[in-house]
Amino acid sequence: MKNLADLRKIKEKAKMEMASREKNVKYRVVVAMGTCGIAAGARNVMSALVDEIGTRSLKNTVITQTGCLGYCDQEPLVQVFEQGRPCITYGKVTPEVARKIVADHIVGNKVLSDYVFKQN
């Protein structure tokens, strides 16, 4: 990289690669990784999600992270976005619950109502 034009080319290439990867994505799983989430165990939840999705070789699911969602008493929080459906937010997620989210919600298409966080 020698100049700003080279940097712009790299950026555009990365954006195109990301768009092509996400073309077949049905589920986007987002883990709240603010300081409150991390203190409550969000790193272990994220690891469990990554492991379970990898073990099942799910190509239609991506995992990302975000900052604090503002509901610190419900951490760790995990949101599941599915194309054409409302977002489901799970609260007080443990690594075991994270694995159930993958197995039941993403693979089995069944929302785990016992763990859904309902915002007031």
Q: Which domain holds residue 35?
A: 25-115
67: helix, strand or coil: coil
Distance (Å, whole) CA 104 – CA 91: 16
- Amino acid identity of residue 27, one-letter, is Y
Whether 32 is in a domain gets the answer yes
Helix (H) / strand (E) element for 63: namely strand 61-66
Domains contained in the chain, number: 1
Backbone angles phi, psi at 100, to 5 degrees: -65, -35
Whether 8 is in a domain gets the answer no
Task: Give me the sign of the Cα torsion angle 103, 109, 110, 111.
Answer: positive
CB within 8 Å of 35: residues ≥ 6 apart? 68
Instruction: For 102-115, write each residue's pLDDT tens digit.
Output: 999 999 999 999 99
Q: What is the CATH number of the domain that holds 87?
A: 3.40.30.10
Global pTM? Answer: 0.80
Whether 33 is in a domain gets the answer yes
Whether 15 is in a domain gets the answer no
Whether 96 is in a domain gets the answer yes
Whether 12 is in a domain gets the answer no
Task: Supply the pLDDT for residue 36.
Answer: 93
Instruction: For 47-70, write each residue's pLDDT tens digit.
Output: 999 999 999 999 889 999 999 999
Whether 34 is in a domain gets the answer yes
Q: Is residue 86 classed exposed, middle or buried when 0-12, 13-18 and 19+ CB atoms within 10 A define those classes? A: exposed
Token pair in block for residue 1: 């990289």
Q: Does residue 19 surpass a pLDDT of 70? A: no
Whether 120 is in a domain gets the answer no
